[in-house]
Amino acid sequence: MKARHALLALQAVTHREVVKFVHQGGRLASALVRPLLWLVVFAAGFQNVFGVSIIPPYDTYIPYQTYIVPGLLGMVLLFNGMQSSLAMVYDREMGVMRLLLTAPLPRWYLLLAKLLAGTMLSVLQAYVFLAIAALFDVGVPWSGWLYALPVLVLSGMMLGALGLLLSVHVKQLENFAGTMNFVIFPMFFLSPALYPLWKLEESGATVIHFLATWNPFTHAVEAVRFALYGQLAPASLAIVIACLLVFFSLAAHGYDPQRGMLKRSGRPGS
């Protein structure tokens, strides 16, 4: 694989993702309305219910809105990551996937190109959300915008890779809504997106606390939260990277011609 060829292919895949994103005018709006509803409505109603004590990375009492910003950034990444898997399933049904997979490039590279293109859109949306949050006076330190970039990219890739992995197994678009409910909502609620995990521990929900600590999304949110305040969360970051590698390897394996992505759905003769 020559570097120039690899870059041209990345350009092809990215360009197509961007054009599709722009064509679907509602996508950006719906990607932003969801976290903004949480930020503006939910957080307003709950800010006096949840008292958030001083925990790292915060060095002072913070309003509830500020607490949930990293979780909502995670939500943007999570939904867009799942959206990219939906796009894979759609492309497979439309046959465009064949075009991609018969290109003279290693299959893992084509998947990586897809992942990078989707992550780029995820991260852009995350920044648009940050900007709107700032307009609502729920800001993070300006330096955090910069520090968060690598962590948002890694977290976006990890969640996108999870989407790719799901697209190996979800064969039809109709099944996708179910997958969303089984993946997105448990991941989001079993995480420190809306409340610090010690609250779960404190209320005796040990099983839920245990599940939350094993949830990759938890670590994406925490890594982003620390990065926004210029701090490193090494354990969370390591888990995000490890999950990214595992999810991507499994997805690449799933699209391997030896196993055959069409093996189970493909039937001879039709």
Partner 1 sequence: MPDLPASTAPMLQLHQVRKSYGANEALKGVSFDVAPGEFLALLGPNGAGKSTLFQLLTGLFNADGGEVRVDGHNMQHTPVQALGRIGVVFQQMTLDLDLSVEANLRFHARLHGIADRESTSRIEDVLQRIGLIAQQHAKVRTLSGGNRRKVELARALLHRPAVLLMDEATVGLDPASRRQLLDEVLALRDQGVAILWASHLVDEAEAADRVVVLHRGKVLTSGSPAEVVAHTGASSLASAFLQLTSGTPAPANA
CB of 95 to partner 1, least distance (A): 4
Dihedral over Cα of 246, 198, 123, 23: its sign: positive
Q: CB within 8 A of 50, min separation 6: which ones?
A: 64, 67, 195, 199
Taking the CA atoms of residue 18, residue 87, residue 194 and residue 123 in that order, the dihedral angle to the nearest 10 degrees is: -20
Please measure the distance between the N-terminal and C-terminal CA atoms of the chain and give it in whole angstroms.
33
Q: Is 101 in the site for partner 1 (CB under 8 A)?
A: yes
CB of 152 to partner 1, least distance (A): 27
- State which residue, 92 or 219, has the beta carbon closest to partner 1: 92
- State which residue, 105 or 152, has the beta carbon closest to partner 1: 105
Applying CB under 8 A, which of residues 59, 95, 174, 204 lies at the interface with partner 1?
95
Of 163, 158, 168, give the one whose Cα is nearest residue 254. Answer: 168
Distance CA 175, CA 74 (A): 24
Q: Is 2 in the site for partner 1 (CB under 8 A)?
A: yes
Element (H, E) at 137: none
Q: Which of residues 231-270 bind partner 1 (CB under 8 A)?
A: 257-263, 266-270
CB of 64 to partner 1, least distance (A): 42
Q: Is 25 in the site for partner 1 (CB under 8 A)?
A: no
- State which residue, 26 or 95, has the beta carbon closest to partner 1: 95
- State which residue, 94 or 238, has the beta carbon closest to partner 1: 94
Applying CB under 8 A, which of residues 18, 36, 62, 103 lies at the interface with partner 1?
103
- State which residue, 8 or 173, has the beta carbon closest to partner 1: 8
* Contact between 74 and 221 (Cβ < 8 Å): yes
CB of 264 to partner 1, least distance (A): 9
Q: How is 43-79 classified by DSSP, letter by letter? A: HHHHTTTS-----TT-SS---HHHHHHHHHHHHHHHH
